[in-house]
Amino acid sequence: MPEIIKIDLNDETVFRSQIVKIKRILNLGGVMAFPTDTFYGLGATAFNRAALSRIYKIKQRAKDKPLLTLVASAYQANTMTKEIIPTAEILIDKLWPGPLTILFSARPDLPPQLTANSGKIGVRQPANEMVCKILSGVGFPITATSANISGTENITTADEVEKALGSQVDLIVDGGPTPGGKESTILDVTLSPPLLIREGAISRETIDAVLDTPCIAVP
C-alpha cells in the first residue's frame, strides 16, 4: 500500500519534514497523488523518464497525450521552456497563479513523455497554497495529470485515490477534499495569435481582455 502523508500547513516543523520525505520519494523515481486546485493529480519529477513512463502505465494513458506540469514560479518555468515570450509574460503577470496552462516551445532535452514529441510543453503555476509550498520545497516542476484511469471520473479525495490506484502509487499526499470544478484553460502561445486549446476555468473573454487582442479557438 502507498504511504499516506496528511498535510498540516499550520505546523511548519512537521511540514518541512514532510517536504523532505516527498522530495526523497520523487527523486528516487516515485509517483505521488496529491490535491490540486480542482482534483487530485499524479505527480512525478518532470525530468525523470522512468517515473513519467510509470504515470502513463498507471493511467493507461495514450502515448500521444502529453503530460502537463506545475511550477512554483515563472523562474521555475524557465527550466522547461526555450523562452518566455512577451505574450506569455503578460499572461503570467495577470493570470498566474491560477487555472491557466500555457503551452510553450519546449527545451529539446526534456523527456519526450512531457511533450508527446510535439515540441511544446504545458506549464501552470497553481493557486493552491499547499501545492505551491510543495513545489517550492522540492525545488523542481512536477507533473499534474489527473489521478485516475484515463476515461474514468476525476477524484477529489485521498481515500478515493487509494481505492482507485492502490499500490500503483508510492505516496498519497492527503490535503483534504478538493473542490472539483472546471479544468484549467490551455492556451498555446507558440502561435500568433495564441490558440485556445481548451476553454476551462479561465474564459476566452478574460484572455482576450488581458492580451488586448483575440485569441483563436480550436474548431
pLDDT in tens, 105-132: 999 999 999 999 999 999 999 999 999 9
Dihedral (C-alpha) 187, 189, 194, 196: value to the nearest 10 degrees? Answer: -10
Q: Give the end-to-end CA distance of the chain in Å, rounded to a whole number.
A: 44
The model carries a pTM of 0.94
Confidence of residue 163 (pLDDT cuts 50, 70, 90): very high
The reported pLDDT for the residue numbered 27 is: 97
* Domains assigned to the chain: 3-217 (3.90.870.10)
| Interacting residues of 146 by C-beta distance below 8 A, sequence separation 6+ | 39, 40, 41, 42, 59, 154, 155
CA 126/CA 190 separation, integer angstroms? 21
| Interacting residues of 44 by C-beta distance below 8 A, sequence separation 6+ | 26, 29, 30, 31, 32, 51, 52, 54, 55, 142, 143
CA 202/CA 101 separation, integer angstroms? 10
Q: Rounded to the nearest 10 degrees, what angle do helices 204-211 and 86-95 cross at?
A: 120
The reported pLDDT for the residue numbered 64 is: 93
Q: What is the pLDDT averaged over residues 1-8?
A: 90
Q: Is the pLDDT of residue 219 over 80?
A: no
Q: Is the pLDDT of residue 22 over 80?
A: yes
Q: pLDDT per residue over 42-74, tens digit each? A: 999 999 999 999 999 999 999 999 999 999 998
Q: How far is CA 104 from the centre of its chain?
A: 14
CA 99/CA 200 separation, integer angstroms? 8
Beta-strand ranges (E) seen in the chain are 3-6, 32-35, 40-43, 69-70, 100-105, 120-124, 142-143, 145-146, 171-174, 185-188, 195-198, 216-217
The reported pLDDT for the residue numbered 213 is: 84
